[in-house]
Amino acid sequence: MATGQKLMRAIRVFEFGGPDVLKFQSDVAVPIPKDHQVLIKVHACGVNPVDTYIRSGTYSRKPPLPYTPGSDVAGVIEAVGENVSAFKKGDRVFTAGTISGGYAEFAVAADDTVYALPEKLDFQQGAALGVPYFTAYRALLHRARGKAGESVLVHGASGGVGLAACQIARAYGLKVLGTAGTEEGKNIVLRNGAHEVFNHREVNYIDKIKKSVGEKGIDIILEMLANVNLSNDLNLLSYGGRVIIVGSRGPIEINPRDTMAKETSIIGVALYSSTKEEFQQFAAALQAGMEVGWLKPVIGSQYPLEKAVQAHENIIHSSGATGKMILLMS
Ligand SMILES: NC(=O)c1ccc[n+]([C@@H]2O[C@H](COP(=O)([O-])OP(=O)(O)OC[C@H]3O[C@@H](n4cnc5c(N)ncnc54)[C@H](OP(=O)(O)O)[C@@H]3O)[C@@H](O)[C@H]2O)c1
């Protein structure tokens, strides 16, 4: 390329398909921030399951090809476009949404989607904030309207959204139950806000949860795999209880009658239905959590940018999550 433009390493996707369509390239042009945009030198980027759905081409949202995946970057402001007053070169930041894609050494983002990253969190932790924490907050407090003194089951608590939900729920005064698929995952869930933890790979774990919560049942279930668990969830709820569908990877048969006697609700959540004002509100609550110290992202597996293919394979065919999956840029 003889354009004189600065080049960077990045993942590019030229066609939708399996993990192999993630192509590592060393000669991608560094994007230039426009009006109300910032250029972030990316140190780490979160890998979210949705990145794999988008890449496969089966998701409702399809970016124009070619594109660079990734939304949750943490890094340092490299340059700012016109009319940016909130940030300057050198500021540590994180975001839950980039314009040019986060699996790259540099990414452009709109200035109102970028937030200050406190010194007490490193860049890996910063890359674990975006989609997981904003989703957990929206699911628990906005969609479920969780209140102090209520109980919540985080069904799938060992991954990015689940651990965020455990920390938030505990900080807001709920009784927190979680599930994980491995001993290591269970221990991490217990260390991050859960009062009790169960193994969702054990045959009789639902009975154990029922025994623990007794006749009253659980007020809120944040469900990471509804296509497997929704029918059981309905039988675990308390009177007026609600299941929040955070994740689902297929259909499931339920008996609608299970919602009637206890007047329970099944409620969906979509982070990207949040308005700008809601994002700002969630960000303020999360910033407070970082300042006070209850918000501490847990990092699981880490991959160099070149191994994005492996990361996409492993996040879907996981042997057991132990926190947030991250890509490192150097
Ligand atoms: N609605 C939204 O706006 C939104 C936003 C973000 C994410 N999501 C979705 O939410 C889900 C979780 O996202 P994530 O980022 O936390 O993914 P992740 O980091 O890959 O974690 C996946 C979690 O699911 C758990 N899991 C595996 N089998 C399970 C089972 N049978 N029952 C319950 N949980 C089970 C895993 O536990 P083990 O590995 O320990 O078995 C792990 O805790 C994904 O489907 C994602 O697409 C939705």
- pLDDT > 90? residue 275: yes
Q: Is 314 in the pocket of ligand 1 (CB under 6 A)?
A: no
The reply to whether 290 falls in a domain is no
Q: Is 271 in the pocket of ligand 1 (CB under 6 A)?
A: yes
What is the CATH number for 16? 3.90.180.10
- Taking only the tens place, the pLDDT of each residue in 55-85 is 999 999 899 999 999 999 999 999 999 999 9
Q: Could you tell me the residue range of the domain that residue 29 belongs to?
A: 7-128+297-328
Do residues 76 and 158 both lie within one domain? no
Give residue for tokens 């003889």: 2
pTM of the model: 0.98
d(CA 123, CA 207): 40
The reply to whether 146 falls in a domain is yes
Supply the pLDDT for residue 312: 98
Question: Distance, CA 279 to ligand 1 centroid (Å)?
Answer: 21
Do residues 219 and 313 both lie within one domain? no
- Taking only the tens place, the pLDDT of each residue in 133-148 is 999 999 999 999 999 9
Question: Distance, CA 89 to ligand 1 centroid (Å)?
Answer: 35
DSSP single-letter state for residue 85? -
Supply the pLDDT for residue 279: 97
Q: Which two tokens stand for residue 187?
A: 């221990």
The reply to whether 282 falls in a domain is no
The reply to whether 277 falls in a domain is no
The reply to whether 210 falls in a domain is yes
Supply the pLDDT for residue 330: 80
What is the CATH number for 229? 3.40.50.720
d(CA 48, CA 299): 13
Supply the pLDDT for residue 1: 44
| Residue nearest (by alpha carbon) to ligand 1 atom 19 | 159
CB distance 108 to 38 below 8 Å: yes
Q: What is the mean pLDDT of residues 17-23?
A: 98
For residue 90, give the nearest of 103, 102, 80 by alpha carbon: 80
Residue 250, Cβ density class (10 Å: 0-12 exposed, 13-18 middle, ≥19 buried)? exposed
Do residues 318 and 257 both lie within one domain? no
